[in-house]
Structure 1
């Protein structure tokens, strides 16, 4: 299932528009906050798909039976660009465990590269609801490699991919390699991918915009 929130309008699209705007991108704090807000909205929508249970809540004046999330999900993020979205999702699932994975492009030349995963800090994920955050889904290859790496820590009950901008190519690739029941939550879908695998119009390098330019590995 793919949930494209850009099709629903509302203030969410303002957050995505500001994220793309090269003038507003000059303020790194604003850029990080917009990623965080996008993560919050996607987390709220995603929460509707999680298993629920009835809970009796005692108020100062009585009791009320409420439907609440049965178990907090596990939130995994791809370093470093995924950190602001991770915080947004964690703001809503505020008792969740977290996992962090490094994944980056190791370039052979301007158009050819490998995906490297060199670090992972993760609790057990067996039979848990897994959320993987990455603001940009260009080809889907990093997402799939990270998912496969996470499986070393167990098999999740459900998988949710949370991303700000994706290409249709990346969505199709991710759907082919993740379980059929996996859900992709996206803030906008672009159609073009350059020979260097950059999304057009996209928004640029999310990690650099959030945390400063890095030296190329």
Structure 2
């Protein structure tokens, strides 16, 4: 029988529903066996042409972690300035847990991607979509294990690539904070902080033509 049991199905939907973009972490270390399972889950993600373009850099060096944090702080300030009248409101938000989380990873696109044409001839950005799938697998597996993860995108890609000595053509996509948390947010943090609210399915699912939200009879 290919269908999962009701308990297994419920667990899958629970992980999806309760996943949160976490910013608050405890410094406790992650069990190595669990960390291996999480990375294996990421590696099982779908990818265009089975190219598996993701690379995960585990940041062990504390000095390097602080340098990455400095890059994020610089972009945080630039983003705040670009937001204009919402600058002060943005600066009050906690946007990362780089110095607090138990594990820090940088998810990146590999170099040499131009040789992979299958599925990318007209949509070359599918390599990025594949990396996003790997990150989502990691995220959901972490939630199932009771661990929090936060995706940080506030950084200048060229500067981070140079800091991590990436080869030409490779590109950082996300800084991932991973670790134990005291509690998971009951709702997305940006919603709790009043920054924004998510849209409804009705607004985001169209029927037959763009913008048509009328459900067929």
Shorter chain as normaliser: what TM range? under 0.3
Tell me the TM-score normalised to structure 2 length: 0.26
Q: Which has the higher contact order (CA 8 A, sep 6+)?
A: 2
Q: Which has the larger radius of gyration?
A: 2
Tell me the TM-score normalised to structure 1 length: 0.26
Higher fraction of strand: 1
Higher fraction of helix: 2
